[in-house]
């Protein structure tokens, strides 16, 4: 009975939908009348009307059809609960007035899926449901009651077959009973197909919600990376402009005090030791500043910054940089960070004798490859370095590939799209 109710509901909703979208097809109806009346010759004025009327009808359907589809889809989601689990709406909840609501609805994929369902409901689902009701339940009832109808003086005509006697009418009773028995199954099949189509076109809440959540997660990660990058640059600037300069001034003062002290005296030796320690601190701080964000990367890009990074390594590095133009600053920063992290892992864990670093442009991506001849067995699960590298790359829509069998070699490939600019918090 539920299936029969669902099929009957499809016929009723389809009929109401026909009434709602019927006015939008008036231009097409006028076009048909013009063509029927003209039959042979169409003058120039009528020709323009013939050309414009289909586009007018199509424009009305595209402009007003989605607004009709919204309430019809809501009713259909409720109706489909008769035969299937509930289908949730895929619409977002807009904030603001009517203009914001309209802009949100017309830009949602869920709205246009519902509009497609409305057209299918009017052209396929409702006619098919009516055919099932009339062909099985309707004809079944008529044939089952054929003897009573004939006895009451009614004449039954099926195509060219005329039933005039009560005896002939009783022969139709088994056929009517069979159609009534089959009608629930035919209705169940029709309702199930309708429900499957409805779940595809009227649902979508999980995918829409997941897509919205994924976009928000990406934006959140981008905001965190932007904040982290800004903090790194602030620390680098403070160390370079303040702390390092103060240490240089201290080293100069110790040098002057050392010159004023007697040569070879304990004071002179203590000042000399202090001066050397300050110089070592300055050297270490310069390395820290270089690791945070080297000024050379900002000024001249990867072509100049990567050779300096390779020279600071304690092992030989075969560096190849094939970049004809500079990439966006956020891309250069991620590629430099990835190269520094990969070379740092080689120095700490790989026991490699030689490392090859290649940076090139491949289509819209900047591709970094770091290969070493070490012992291999690198596993992101055992440390945060490779995981952090992959997270930094993923924020820009890139990817990190790792191949490190036990015994080596280890190969890290980083692909960063130049179009993957990080979104700010306002985007």
For the chain, the distance separating the N- and C-terminal CA atoms, rounded to the nearest angstrom, is 52
| Cβ atoms 146, 156 nearer than 8 A | yes
Q: What is the pLDDT of residue 423?
A: 37
Q: Higher model confidence: residue 207 or residue 100?
A: 100
Average pLDDT taken over every residue of the chain:
78
Q: What is the pLDDT of residue 221?
A: 66
Q: What is the pLDDT of residue 41?
A: 59
| Cβ atoms 272, 258 nearer than 8 A | yes
* pLDDT at residue 159 tops 70: no
d(CA 148, CA 170): 9
What are the pLDDT digits (tens) for 331-384?
A: 888 888 888 888 888 888 777 788 889 999 888 888 999 988 888 777 776 665
Q: What is the pLDDT of residue 421?
A: 44
What are the pLDDT digits (tens) for 258-300?
A: 787 787 778 878 888 887 888 888 777 776 666 666 777 777 8
What are the pLDDT digits (tens) for 216-273?
A: 776 776 666 667 667 766 776 666 667 777 878 887 887 888 787 787 778 878 888 8
Q: Higher model confidence: residue 69 or residue 209?
A: 69
Band (pLDDT 50/70/90 cuts) for residue 151 is: confident
- CA 272 to each of CA 249, 262, 281, 404: distance values in angstroms, whole numbers, following the listed order: 15, 12, 14, 48
β-strands 156-158, 161-163 pairing: antiparallel
What are the pLDDT digits (tens) for 293-316?
A: 677 777 788 888 888 888 888 788
Average pLDDT over residues 41-67: 73
Nearest CA among 308, 301, 293 for reference residue 235: 293
Q: 82 burial class (0-12, 13-18, 19+ CB within 10 angstroms)?
A: middle
Q: What is the DSSP secondary structure assignment for residue 82, as one 8-state letter?
A: G
Q: What is the DSSP secondary structure assignment for residue 152, as one 8-state letter?
A: T
Who contacts 229 (Cβ-Cβ below 8 Å, separation ≥6)?
A: 330, 333
Q: What is the pLDDT of residue 167?
A: 74
d(CA 328, CA 326): 7
Q: What is the pLDDT of residue 24?
A: 81
| Cβ atoms 117, 197 nearer than 8 A | yes
* pLDDT at residue 207 tops 70: no
| Cβ atoms 114, 73 nearer than 8 A | yes
Structure tokens at 96: 């603001």
| Helical (H) or strand (E) element with 138 | none
Band (pLDDT 50/70/90 cuts) for residue 86 is: confident
DSSP output for 214-264: HHHHHHHHHHHHHHHHHHHHHHHHHIIIIIHHHHHHHHHHHHHHHHHSPTT
Cβ neighbours, 10 Å, residue 318: 11
């Amino acid at each position: 009975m539920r299936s029969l109710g669902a099929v009957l509901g499809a016929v009723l909703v389809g009929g109401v939908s026909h009434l709602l979208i019927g006015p939008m097809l008036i231009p097409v109806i006028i076009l048909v009348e013009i063509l029927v009346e003209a039959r042979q010759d169409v003058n120039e004025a009528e020709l323009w009307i013939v050309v414009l009327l289909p586009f007018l009808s199509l424009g009305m359907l595209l402009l007003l059809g989605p607004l009709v589809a919204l309430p019809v889809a809501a009713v259909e989601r409720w109706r489909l609960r008769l035969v299937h689990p509930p289908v949730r709406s895929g619409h977002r909840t807009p904030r603001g007035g009517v203009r914001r609501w309209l802009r949100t609805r017309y830009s949602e994929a869920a709205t246009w899926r519902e509009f497609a369902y409305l057209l299918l409901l009017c052209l396929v689902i409702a006619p098919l449901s009516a055919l099932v009701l009339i062909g099985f339940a309707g004809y079944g009832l008529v044939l089952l009651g054929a003897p009573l109808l004939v006895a009451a003086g009614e004449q039954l005509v099926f195509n060219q077959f005329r039933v005039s006697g009560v005896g002939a009418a009783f022969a139709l009773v088994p056929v009517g009973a069979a159609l009534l028995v089959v009608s629930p199954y035919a209705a169940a099949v029709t309702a199930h197909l309708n429900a499957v189509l409805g779940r595809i076109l009227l649902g979508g809440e999980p995918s829409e919600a997941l897509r919205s959540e994924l976009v928000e997660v990406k934006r959140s990660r981008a905001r965190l990376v932007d904040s982290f990058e800004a903090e790194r640059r602030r620390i680098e600037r403070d160390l370079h402009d303040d702390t390092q300069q103060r240490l240089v001034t201290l080293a100069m003062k110790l040098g002057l005090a050392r010159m004023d002290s007697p040569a070879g005296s304990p004071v002179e030796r203590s000042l000399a030791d202090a001066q050397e320690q300050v110089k070592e601190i300055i050297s270490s701080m310069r390395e820290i500043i270089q690791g945070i964000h080297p000024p050379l990367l900002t000024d001249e890009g990867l072509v100049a910054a990567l050779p300096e990074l390779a020279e600071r390594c304690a092992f030989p590095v075969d560096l190849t940089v094939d970049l004809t133009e500079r990439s966006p600053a956020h891309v250069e920063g991620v590629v430099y960070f990835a190269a520094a992290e990969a070379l740092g892992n080689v120095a700490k864990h790989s026991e490699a004798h030689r490392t090859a670093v290649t940076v090139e442009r491949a289509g819209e991506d900047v591709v970094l490859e770091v290969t070493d001849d070490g012992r291999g067995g690198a596993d992101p699960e055992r440390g945060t370095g490779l995981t952090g590298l992959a997270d930094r790359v993923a924020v820009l829509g890139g990817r990190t590939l790792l191949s490190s069998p036990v015994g080596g070699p280890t190969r890290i490939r980083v692909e960063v799209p130049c179009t993957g600019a990080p979104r700010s918090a306002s985007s």
